[in-house]
C-alpha cells in the first residue's frame, strides 16, 4: 500500500492514505497484473474504459466533465511512462472533486 501512496504523493503531497486505500481495494485483483495495473493514456479504448468504469459507475460523472478530468490526469502524468492505475484514478477523482465520496 505504501508504494501506491508514495506514487500518488508525487502528484499530490497531501494525499489521504485512506482514500488511496479505498482505490486500491476498488481495483483489487486488477493490480496483480502489471498490464492492468497501468493506464495507457495514449489508448482511446483505455480512456473510454476509465470514463465508463470509474467516472460514470463509481463517481457518477459522465460527459465532458469526465473527459476533462481524464485529460487533466493524463497531462499531469505525461512524463511518467508507467502510469499507475491507482494514481491515475486518484487524480481523476481529485479533478472531479470526488475524493471524499469514495
Q: 44-99, pLDDT tens digit by residue?
A: 999 999 999 999 999 999 999 999 999 999 999 999 999 999 999 999 999 999 99
The helix-helix angle for 85-95 and 2-9 (nearest 10°) equals: 50
- Which residues, 6 or more positions from 12, have their beta carbon under 8 angstroms from its beta carbon? 90, 91, 94
Q: Has residue 32 got a pLDDT over 70?
A: yes
Per DSSP, the three-state class of 22 is helix
Looking at the DSSP bridge assignments, the partners of residue 38 are 84
Cα–Cα distance for residue pair 61/69, rounded to 1 Å: 10
Amino acid at each position: 500500500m505504501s508504494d501506491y501512496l508514495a506514487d500518488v504523493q508525487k502528484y499530490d503531497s497531501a494525499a489521504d492514505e485512506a482514500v488511496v486505500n479505498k482505490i486500491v481495494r476498488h481495483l483489487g485483483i486488477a493490480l496483480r497484473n502489471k498490464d492492468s495495473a497501468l493506464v495507457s493514456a495514449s489508448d482511446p479504448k483505455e480512456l473510454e474504459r476509465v470514463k465508463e468504469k470509474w467516472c460514470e459507475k463509481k463517481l457518477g460523472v459522465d460527459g465532458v466533465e469526465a473527459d476533462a478530468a481524464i485529460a487533466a490526469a493524463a497531462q499531469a502524468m505525461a512524463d511518467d511512462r508507467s502510469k499507475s492505475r491507482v494514481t491515475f484514478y486518484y487524480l481523476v477523482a481529485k479533478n472531479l472533486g470526488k475524493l471524499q465520496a469514495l
